[in-house]
Amino acid sequence: MKPNVGGIDRALRFIVGVGLILVALFSPHPLAVWGWIGIIPLVTSAIRWCPVYVPFGISSCAKGQTREH
């Protein structure tokens, strides 16, 4: 898989993912369980690849970051 998630995008995904999971863990609100969806941005941040970007041809990587890993 060719990476399509760049540095800033990756950092934002990580922060949002952790934030959502923390909401799921510590909020008493019944809808807080939806915070577990934060696993998705965490995983896409870790593997540097987002399947939603592929059909649209989007890449937030700088030109030098698009190598296979």
Of 36, 34, 3, nearest to 18 (Cα)? 36
How many Å apart are CA 24 and CA 40, to the nearest integer? 14
Q: What is the pLDDT of residue 1?
A: 85
For residue 10, the model assigns a pLDDT of: 97
Residue 63 in domain: no
Identity of the residue numbered 31? L
Residue 20 lies in a domain: yes
Q: Does residue 62 sit within a domain?
A: no
Please list the pLDDT of the chain residue by residue as tens digits (69 residues).
899 999 999 999 999 999 999 999 999 999 999 999 999 999 999 999 999 999 999 999 987 655 555
Q: Is 68 within a domain?
A: no
Number of domains in the chain: 1
Q: Has residue 19 been placed in a domain? A: yes
Query: Is 64 within a domain?
Result: no
Q: Which residue segment(s) compose the domain that 41 sits in? A: 7-53
